[in-house]
Amino acid sequence: MPSPTTEPRKSIFITGAASGMGRETARLFVEKGWFVGAYDVNELGLRDLQEELGAENCLIRQLDVTDRADFREALDGFVPAAGGRLDILFNNAGIGRGGPFDQQPFEDILAVVQVNLIGVLNGIYEAVPLLKATPNSLCFTTSSSSATFGIPGIAVYSATKHAVKGLTEALSIEFKAYGVRVADVLPGLIDTPILPPGAVEAAPKEGMFRAIPPIEVAKVVWEAYHSDKLHWFVPEEIAELDKASALTPEAVRDQIAAGTMFFTSAEKG
């Protein structure tokens, strides 16, 4: 714990921290001198992360984000270790279950909703008192490029990410009264374990749906803390799809249906 005369380190609470974007974010913020709370269902991955970053820089705990009481207990344990502050809540945990909507087990559909939406609601709801008590705090959530236009084969995943985007916009207005900023990241194809086998190899080499390393998302979390920007697109070209989806949704629909949305002209050959 910091001494009474020492300013506490800034702190970030990260869900889905054992791998991918969450893990890279934990690494980056420790490099920046922050204290990191790393949470995931993957306890082995968390232990490996803590060994890498050092127990003095990183508190780990297994967390089921769908369990609100478990989330509350995780935050309660984080508070004393973080000097009583929460500078960033990074709701990053998510799962992807895909396939044609009517052929998926309904249990898989509910699991996606529980983790990707209910887990986010649990985190924000339980963290609000800490965010309000920390000056210039940021509530940051992982949405998705599939929140720009619903993507076939991951329809429910897309729906949860649309919900996260809408929640971000509404809470960015509500929480302004508390001095709490709210923002999200909408990543495209990020090379993480959530992707199905072969997805990176099959991805286009150029364009908005090229494979992006997860460190690029971590950098955006850092930039977001120092900004008032609402939506962060990784890569930035995803913003063009967001605009097109709003202005010409039928054209975007038809391009996706024809299989021409995700490839460059050279690759369509």
Place of tokens 């869900």: 15
List, in order, residues 6 or more apart from 234 with CB less than 8 Å away: 185, 186, 187, 188, 190, 212, 216, 217, 220
Tell me how far apart the alpha carbons of residues 31 and 110 are, in angstroms, rounded to a whole number: 37
Say which DSSP state 58 is in. E
Spatial CB neighbours of 165, under 8 Å, sequence gap ≥ 6? 143, 147, 184, 186, 231
Residue 151 CB neighbour total at 10 angstroms: 18
Is there a catalytic annotation at residue 157?
Answer: yes
Positions of E strands within the chain:
11-15, 35-40, 58-62, 88-91, 138-142, 181-187, 231-234
3-state secondary structure of 114: helix
Cis peptide before 235 (omega within 30 of 0): yes
For the CA atoms of 2, 91, 32, 43, the dihedral, rounded to the nearest 10 degrees, stands at 80
One of 39, 125, 157, 225 is an active-site residue; which one? 157
Could you tell me the two tokens for 117? 């939406």
Distance, CA of 79 to CA of 132 (rounded, Å): 14
DSSP string, 202-215: HS-SSSTTS-B-TH
Give catalytic residues, as residue numbers: 157
